[in-house]
Amino acid sequence: MSTQQGTQPGRQYDPAPTPGTPAHIIRDDAEAIVAAQQFAAYIEQDAQERDEKRILPWKELDVFSQSGLWGVTIPKEYGGAGVSNHTLAQAVVTIAAADGNFGHIPQNHFYALEVLRVGASEEQKKFFFDRILKGERFGNALAETGHKDFKRRTVLTREKDGWFVHGKKFYATGALYAHWIPTLVTAQEEQGENRYLVIIPRTAPGVTIIDDWDGFGQRVTGSGSVIFDRVRVEPEWVVPFQSSFERPTTIGPVAQILHAALDLGIGHGAFKATLPFVREHGRAWIDSGVSQATDDPLLLDRLGDVYVRLRAADLLLERSAGFVDRAQARPTEDTVAAASVAVAEAKVASTEASLLAATRLFELGGTRSTLQEFGLDRYWRNVRTHTLHDPVRWKYRFIGDYVLNGKRPPRNGTI
């Protein structure tokens, strides 16, 4: 699809994207940061147009894949860079500041890579890591639409003539652009229900991807529906999931640090947009006693407040990444709990700072900042949409319980 063509939600997609030129292999953390900066500069120039016209970024995603950034968390022993979590988070911040959609699309890609690293067989790791390093992309089909009845959930059945997946998912961010769709399924077994991650080719017969995401933010993330109509799957595509939460692993902290980095990146993008707008279009308030907005004392106060909060969130994110690194190297009840709490602290700070930055953009820019020609509302819409993913009110609760009572937070991917 041409990047000059807008689309309307509701379109079904059957053709699969095909990898183009084999992806570049990034070798270390420094190279990953440079690649993120270069890609951010590339996507920033057309971010407003993509948002306004809902242009699906096929070309840009191929550039993203071929940059090698989608393979940076693959361990060195499998050919990847094995970058630190701080490098991963900083890359997401950098890219999301340029366009929040591109910080979001690969979020569950990296999540699935961590599920593989933690729980997959050696053969599964070699196979899927190699495909990613060659430029293929994971999407996701994790979230249900509220079905508690087993019969209405996405299920894996083992029958005489094969294994099959049947069900429907929503909020399937990245599935639209993916080569593989990691899908959370429930299976009925002798010991009861069990959950698995089945990594399904998007070309498998019975897979239908519908571009029906119509949220007011994150408009081109492809976060719509995926339908599985008796999709035959190979046992080699089935990865343990539930068991990876029955022991201390870093799946949850890795997922959450990505969410925090995405939010923080959008906040930085909003702040970056605020500065030139105030300089070029801002007006000093009549009672300020100054003639220029850049000298308005209350404007400077509010601007300084946003800057400090963003910088504090930066530091909490960096701090939490160190906890996640240590937990990955030595996963125990204590190290994983400490990582989860540290990331929760960063997520609270990033949520509040980014929402404030997006709101202050209008407060300090004045009524003119709301004009459609500037497209500044995308920052607030994007960050407000994504920060709803996991409610920070629960993070406060788990942090308080940990600090006061020494109670470890639950291991379920949301903290």
From CA 56, how far away is CA 283, in angstroms rounded?
36
Closest CA to 19 of 141, 180, 175, 173: 180
Q: Average model confidence (pLDDT) for the chain? A: 94
From CA 181, how far away is CA 136, in angstroms rounded?
11
Kindly state the tokens that stand for 274: 């605020």
- Listed in sequence order, the DSSP H helices in 121-246 are 122-133
Strand partners, 185: 196
Q: Which residue's structure tokens are 């009110």?
A: 393
Mean pLDDT of 359-383: 97
Mean pLDDT of 3-30: 70
CB 166 within 8 A of CB 230: yes
Strand partners, 209: 13, 226
| Predicted local confidence at residue 15, as pLDDT | 53
Mean pLDDT of 31-56: 97
Domain boundaries, position 326: 251-405
Judgement on whether residues 267 and 398 belong to the same structural domain of the protein: yes
Is there a domain that residue 59 lies in?
Answer: yes
| Predicted local confidence at residue 143, as pLDDT | 92
Would you place residue 1 in the very low, low, confident or very high pLDDT band (cuts 50, 70, 90)?
A: very low
Q: Which of 136-145, 226-235, 311-320, 367-376 has the lowest mean pLDDT?
A: 136-145
Judgement on whether residues 122 and 161 belong to the same structural domain of the protein: no
Q: Which helix (H) or strand (E) holds 328?
A: helix 297-329
CATH number of the domain to which 388 belongs: 1.20.140.10
Per cent of the chain over pLDDT 70 is 94
The answer, yes or no, to whether residue 296 has pLDDT greater than 80, is yes
DSSP 34-73: HHHHHHHHHHHTTHHHHHHHTB--HHHHHHHHHTTGGGTT
CATH number of the domain to which 56 belongs: 1.10.540.10
From CA 174, how far away is CA 30, in angstroms rounded?
26
Judgement on whether residues 356 and 388 belong to the same structural domain of the protein: yes
Tens-place pLDDT, residues 391-407: 999 999 999 999 999 99
The answer, yes or no, to whether residue 255 has pLDDT greater than 90, is yes
| Predicted local confidence at residue 21, as pLDDT | 72
Residue that finishes a domain, picked among 191, 216, 241: 241
| Residue 271 backbone dihedrals phi, psi, to 5 degrees | -65, -40
Is there a domain that residue 301 lies in?
Answer: yes
From CA 232, how far away is CA 150, in angstroms rounded?
19
From CA 126, how far away is CA 296, in angstroms rounded?
59
CATH number of the domain to which 172 belongs: 2.40.110.10
Residue 274's alpha-carbon distances to 4, 49, 98, 196, 218, in angstroms, are 27, 19, 14, 45, 20
Give the 3-state secondary structure of residue 383: helix
CB 122 within 8 A of CB 363: no
Top-confidence residue, 176 or 12: 176
Tens-place pLDDT, residues 124-171: 999 999 999 999 999 999 998 755 554 468 999 999 999 999 999 999
| Predicted local confidence at residue 19, as pLDDT | 62
Give the 3-state secondary structure of residue 270: helix
Secondary structure letter of residue 105 according to DSSP: T
For the chain, how many structural domains are there in total?
A: 3
